[in-house]
Structure 1
């Protein structure tokens, strides 16, 4: 077989097929392969006219079709399936060749695979691809982790097929080994929080303000013309405006209120605990999905009393709607801030040199959490790469100061009326935790020292100390 293909794609399910077509549409010759050859034939029959494809029925044929250095992109299920494909193809590759994992792999697996293949002379690249089927086909956001040498070869290709915003490609090298998949994981964690916050805003407008789904859809459509402009707010307006053709009811009223997840939100929370990075809005959004699926538990709680829901007048509803918009904006800023801080924490732990301005830049297009205010986030980190928080930037600090009262009013209203807002409350609590002059953690330290002799630190002198709680004089010693 003539080695003519610029890149190979194995795994032709929705994402793999869409990426292969994207490469071909941009003039690259693409070798395509699937464990089930019928899927390869289907791609050729349906989309072979879109560009130059080289079908391969075996791993050997796929490798033989690739130009050197070979670039092989794996688009299969994360975990054991990815390892199996790597084990199949790696022996067929040579020094300097590249294997790119474009799936939602756990970053720790990517780090392990990169170290193993590096010893064998093969570049392993973990590429987080965001945007779903449409993004993969028309222009995703691509978060790449791997060696500088591999990105020198792959970068121009990824930047060509990625989304473009203001002339900038939404693809960049994030850092070494698992950095790309880590940032993609955090992206998905922020996505969980953003979606939950939007859902809570909808619930408040319906349960407290008394608006119907279509009316709320129009409210979101108006919000999408302002500072809340984003892909998720845009599609929320569309979903809320949709009427179920079978029943004539609002679409949201015929959909079961249980939300699934594919695991990346859970990974974000688990990893955040390992890093001691407090992504509380992400955590509450993830637990909210888990709670929605607890049918028997919800049935047990349902008869219990809740808050008092007093109907609002039209003017009261309009005022409350403005407050919800402000609370949603503030909470979204907190959610993004938590995710970006988690990336900083991971960079210190794993030795990654991550440019947060570049991360915000490639999130502006193609990906699910693309939003207008990401351009301001990019500008903030470009001006101060070591910025510890978005709220340390004067513009964001001024905005949050301006909206913190209505933010509190919304959370208080949800509590009084018994409408659950776990993500709104978590974001506000995080804000109050970090701005507090003094936290009750001092008492926690005393408790830990009492029952476990874990020691504590003092505010008035250096060192660690232990109080002998069982002694009559409760003397203190330095440890």
Structure 2
């Protein structure tokens, strides 16, 4: 019988323990909070053994031992590893199943490897319900070790529509945690797009709550089908105690835990254009300025103007725009994974990532299947928007997408991710952009040089001196 140690028995850890126990895994349990391990062990019956210390947790397992960590990222993870390492032997395995910064994972792999202990980074997505009934698991690390552990984690993972387990080794090193980070960055942008659509429907078009709810429900059954759209429908279905929609009582601020920022920072660090992912993070930062926004509205007025156009046409346009923008967000996320993987040599297969995301994870949607097919057909595809099938789906809603953005801007409704996604698509298909003016300015003030058409190497110019103290054309 497979045996695992579990350290960290909060909601995620406890639910994962129940999932593992359901699949015949014998568990040794430890949590620093008094009584937590004992309570869960009682709940699991013969499948769980409570341990009072990290040393006891290790002692309860036969070599080679595998211990799964589900503790908060950062210092808590380092502390957990430090408490285990003195009691582990070469060949033992530590799995970090939390949201971890990928450079921390690489550092921990090196530190554990010095003692012969294997350290694996598992990106686990699906929340508490996923942990209990089947998450998506993006595993990173040593291939041989993961092949030994794969049957256990494939068994507890979610199943894609075709029945394939949503567990995969996505690459070497810290690949698992980086792929999960980008998953979350995509999640931020998808959520923001749904929220922007909600804002336009409810607060610009002023459609009745029930009509917006029914519209979202229809979208959730069609080309826009996704778990996040289902969440939006559930949000609109829920009523407060007084019978009014609960969402109307929720303060319009959204918190964040850091993975969106990690994604945006990685895009900047590696020079990858991912404006939609970054704007989704900025939008949350802007949402946090609630007091300032209220004060500004009171002093200068809200920008939103009354809509006097064709409501039905704009609703139809919004559906097409949302599909196009969602594909564009995924294209940026996969482009970032490809760029960082090329730098670190993890060997990430984008088709495998897309297949793993088809079930269990937060961004699961019907779009993942054609993306997996695109990468399976062209493994070296440098951007998803270069796939003809996906490009046709994006541009099929081109006019409608522009209609949505123009209408929003004209009426003072901020739609940062709809706008950034459209600008990304337009920039990607424009052969000559505005950067010639940027290159000229950089050479003028900093002698940074520029490239010339038909002439290799870097060039400098003897830029004309303009007397800004005299009128243009003056003596």
Instruction: Provide the TM-score with structure 1 as the length reference.
Output: 0.94
CA shift in 2, pair 1:447/1:300, >3 Å? farther
2:328–2:394: 8 Å Cα contact kept in structure 1?
no
Counterparts of 2:223 and 2:465, CA distance in 1: 60
Deviation (angstroms), 1:310: 3.2
2:252–2:290: 8 Å Cα contact kept in structure 1?
no
Deviation (angstroms), 1:189: 0.3
Counterparts of 1:319 and 1:307, CA distance in 2: 23
Task: Select the residue among 220, 229, 241 that pairs with 2:225.
Answer: 229
Task: Select the residue among 32, 46, 51 that pairs with 1:35.
Answer: 32
Runs of 5+ unmatched residues, structure 2: 467-475
Deviates more, 1:165-174 or 1:407-416: 165-174
Does residue 8 of structure 1 match 2:10?
Answer: no
1:449–1:456: 8 Å Cα contact kept in structure 2?
yes
2:318–2:401: 8 Å Cα contact kept in structure 1?
yes
2:204–2:304: 8 Å Cα contact kept in structure 1?
no
1:5–1:67: 8 Å Cα contact kept in structure 2?
no
Corresponding residue for 2:473?
none
Deviation (angstroms), 1:306: 5.5
Within-5 A mapping of 1:132-171: 132-165=127-160, 166-171=162-167
Corresponding residue for 1:370?
364
Task: Select the residue among 162, 170, 177 that pairs with 1:174.
Answer: 170
Counterparts of 1:444 and 1:240, CA distance in 2: 46
Helix, strand or coil: the match of 1:168?
coil
Does residue 325 of structure 1 match 2:316?
Answer: no
Task: Select the residue among 90, 96, 101 that pairs with 2:96.
Answer: 101
Deviation (angstroms), 1:408: 0.2
Corresponding residue for 1:184?
180
Counterparts of 1:118 and 1:44, CA distance in 2: 31
Moved over 4 A (4+): 305-308
| Backbone CA RMSD of aligned residues | 1.5
Counterparts of 1:310 and 1:294, CA distance in 2: 25
Corresponding residue for 1:356?
350
Counterparts of 1:299 and 1:237, CA distance in 2: 28
Counterparts of 1:324 and 1:5, CA distance in 2: 50
* Alignment: residue pair count: 464
CA shift in 2, pair 1:57/1:5, >3 Å? farther
Counterparts of 2:317 and 2:305, CA distance in 1: 17
Does residue 379 of structure 1 match 2:373?
Answer: yes
Corresponding residue for 2:459?
465
1:307–1:415: 8 Å Cα contact kept in structure 2?
no
Deviation (angstroms), 1:38: 0.8
Counterparts of 1:199 and 1:308, CA distance in 2: 16
Deviation (angstroms), 1:469: 3.0
CA shift in 2, pair 1:181/1:170, >3 Å? same
Cα deviation code 1:346-372 (max 9, x no counterpart): 011111111100000010000000001
Helix, strand or coil: the match of 2:35?
helix
Counterparts of 2:409 and 2:261, CA distance in 1: 26
1:190–1:369: 8 Å Cα contact kept in structure 2?
yes
Corresponding residue for 1:88?
83
Instruction: Provide the TM-score with structure 2 as the length reference.
Output: 0.95
1:74–1:103: 8 Å Cα contact kept in structure 2?
yes
2:325–2:418: 8 Å Cα contact kept in structure 1?
yes
Corresponding residue for 1:477?
none
Counterparts of 1:18 and 1:341, CA distance in 2: 33
Deviates more, 1:259-268 or 1:459-468: 459-468
CA shift in 2, pair 1:304/1:156, >3 Å? same
Deviates more, 1:402-411 or 1:248-257: 248-257
Runs of 5+ unmatched residues, structure 1: 473-479
Counterparts of 2:155 and 2:2, CA distance in 1: 16
Helix, strand or coil: the match of 1:457?
strand
Cα deviation code 1:451-473 (max 9, x no counterpart): 1111111112101011233779x
Counterparts of 2:386 and 2:130, CA distance in 1: 33
Corresponding residue for 1:241?
237
